[in-house]
Copies of this chain bind each other. A is one copy, B any other.
């Protein structure tokens, strides 16, 4: 039996045996015993570095995702007895893998069998007077060296700013950048979220212009952040590196494909996430993690030394925790390429439109939150949005999907053919669909997309389209592939509009549903990126006051 390091109060019968039985169940990974050691019901709590899980179901789902608890030996046990049926135990453990862990548990004895889930287990000590169970637990494991779900390589910093230290500080002085693993960073390889691809690369000789401009403006590169495989997903679930943690919704996916930069910024590791957005890869993780994100106007930021997915839709984008920094990043980046006519920014009137048909394929809580936000606009000093009909969005998405897939196959098909089994099944399936698109089909889709883009221009007529950034809050990690697939289709039905039009799109963290934050998306005409950020920032101020 465990040696007690310190004890306050009179030790109740059965408490330490229950504590010991729990540790034994951890060692043998006895999932049933572990589940029964926690109180049933919706108010049981378990916290660790991933956040607080509320309710026995959420805790069980977490445990189901984990193959085996880390092996550990108890080295200190401090017992604070409160009454004959209640105690707090703070224990220190020595994990086999090194370091020290700490656990605080609130143990409570229930009446015998009163609220047992299933039959009394061997590990729940029931001596006829009741069963000891954990009501709340907080678990501190040794901090890992770094989170390889978020990062591939990090430094302090990895790449120093190139700003002249004798000049006045640049607009991004002191900021740190998480660079999505698609951009060239001198001295580092591009990995694209695919280890077998990384293995064949050599160090980049130059920084991508999108990286260089941030370094010149005073920022440093903290590291290379993970991406969905070849950026061809909006979920963030990389089959080799794992899913970056959602910083604000424990147990939920990060969103992708700029998954690593998003989690890095949301967790405060870096202040700027440099990513890309082809079909939503900035806007979706921004929406899922409560961040600000900008998908830039197509071709407004050069994509030199940046691995392509589908060049007709590929754009550079950024993620930040506030609008001010997003504006500074965008300003600095656009200024450096101002010589290019496509980068000259335009003003826009804060005149909003909505398409009620877009709400058909979003979750009810997002529909309600979006409706409430739109309803609140007049009181906040904005005009009520006009209703428009963008057309058959399902058809638009289908055209987008065909051209994106065909281009994705053109970008990476040869490599994928030569490296079977290197990708997650869902990502591979999308590439293989791209292989199946024949030339005539692709040509037709392109022609129709161009016409649809012109149509969107006419409908928007210089106004700003408001819509949710994603069809739902972040799905749980426990979602099935089919559930993720449905969310993907519904969300791409929203996000493809900016892709088809080559439009800039800001995602602003202005909505919240029970499952977490949801972004409000502002889509404007080409080259209105900075104006959109400014309008979204004023919306934030107006709606929150």
Q: A82-B83, A143-B143, A144-B269 are in contact. Are A321 and B98 (CB under 8 A)?
A: yes
**A104 in the interface, Cβ–Cβ < 8 Å?**
yes
**Is A52 part of the contact surface with B, judged by Cβ < 8 Å?**
yes
Listed stretches A43-51, A274-282, A471-479; interface member? A43-51
Query: A86 on the interface (CB 8 Å rule)?
Result: yes
Min C-beta distance of A459 to chain B, whole Å: 38
Interface residues of A in 130-148 (CB under 8 A from B): 135-136, 138, 140, 142-148
**Residues B138 and A148 in contact, CB atoms below 8 Å apart:** no
B138 touches A268 (CB 8 A): no
A86 and B82 contact, Cβ closer than 8 Å, known pairs A145-B269, A154-B145: yes
A268 touches B45 (CB 8 A): no
Give chain B nearest CB distance to A328 CB in angstroms: 17
Please name all residues of chain B whose beta carbon is closer than 8 Å to the beta carbon of A135 when the two chains form the complex: 80, 88
Q: Is A267 in the interface zone, CB < 8 Å from B? A: yes
Q: Which residues of chain B have C-beta atoms less than 8 A from A51's C-beta?
A: 92, 100, 102
Of A78, A95, A156, A247, most B-chain CB atoms within 10 Å: A156
The reply to whether A268 and B47 form a contact with Cβ atoms under 8 Å apart is no
Asked whether A222 is an interface residue with its Cβ less than 8 Å from the other chain, the reply is yes
**A223 at interface (Cβ–Cβ under 8 A)?**
yes
Contacting B at CB under 8 A, from A517-534, are none
A151 and B144 CA atoms in complex are apart in Å by: 12
A301 on the B face (CB < 8 A): no
Question: CB distance A76 to B52 under 8 Å?
Answer: yes
B-side contacts of A143, CB under 8 Å: 49, 143-144, 147, 267
Kindly provide the distance from the CB of A78 to the nearest chain B CB, expressed in whole angstroms: 6
Within 8 A of B (CB), among A273-307: none
Stoichiometry (number of copies): 2
Minimum CB–CB distance from A140 to chain B (whole Å) comes to: 6
List of B residues within 8 angstroms of A140 by Cβ: 47-49, 138, 140
**Minimal beta-carbon separation of A453 from chain B (angstroms):** 37
- A391 at interface, CB cutoff 8 A: no
- Whether B247 contacts A142 by the Cβ 8 Å rule is yes
Which residues of B lie under 8 Å from residue A97 when comparing CB positions?
268
A155 at the interface (CB under 8 A from B): yes
Q: Is there contact, CB below 8 Å, between B136 and A90?
A: yes
**A169 near B: Cβ within 8 Å?**
no
Min C-beta distance of A514 to chain B, whole Å: 12
* A14, chain B: closest CB distance, angstroms: 18
Q: Is the CB of B99 within 8 A of A268?
A: yes
* Distance in angstroms between the alpha carbons of A176 and B45 in the assembled complex: 35
> Nearest Cβ in chain B — how far from A147, in angstroms?
7
For A7, give the chain B residue with the smallest CB separation.
B43
Structural contact, A264 and B102, CB atoms closer than 8 A: no
Q: In the complex, what residue of chain B is closest to A92 when comparing beta carbons?
A: B52
**Cβ of A106 under 8 Å from chain B:** yes
Task: State in angstroms the CA–CA spacing of A150 and B143 once bound together.
Answer: 12
The docked-state distance in angstroms from the alpha carbon of A43 to that of B144 is 29
A–B complex contacts, Cβ < 8 Å, 28 sampled: A6-B43, A45-B90, A47-B102, A52-B76, A52-B92, A80-B136, A82-B82, A82-B83, A86-B86, A88-B106, A88-B135, A90-B138, A97-B268, A98-B265, A98-B266, A98-B267, A98-B269, A100-B250, A142-B267, A143-B144, A145-B223, A145-B264, A145-B269, A145-B270, A146-B156, A152-B156, A153-B154, A154-B154
Given contact pairs A51-B100, A98-B268, A152-B155, enumerate 6 new A-B contacts (beta carbons under 8 Å). Answer: A45-B78, A88-B88, A100-B250, A145-B146, A153-B154, A154-B154
9 closest A-B pairs (Cβ-Cβ)? A98-B268, A145-B269, A153-B155, A47-B102, A97-B268, A146-B146, A99-B267, A104-B138, A148-B156
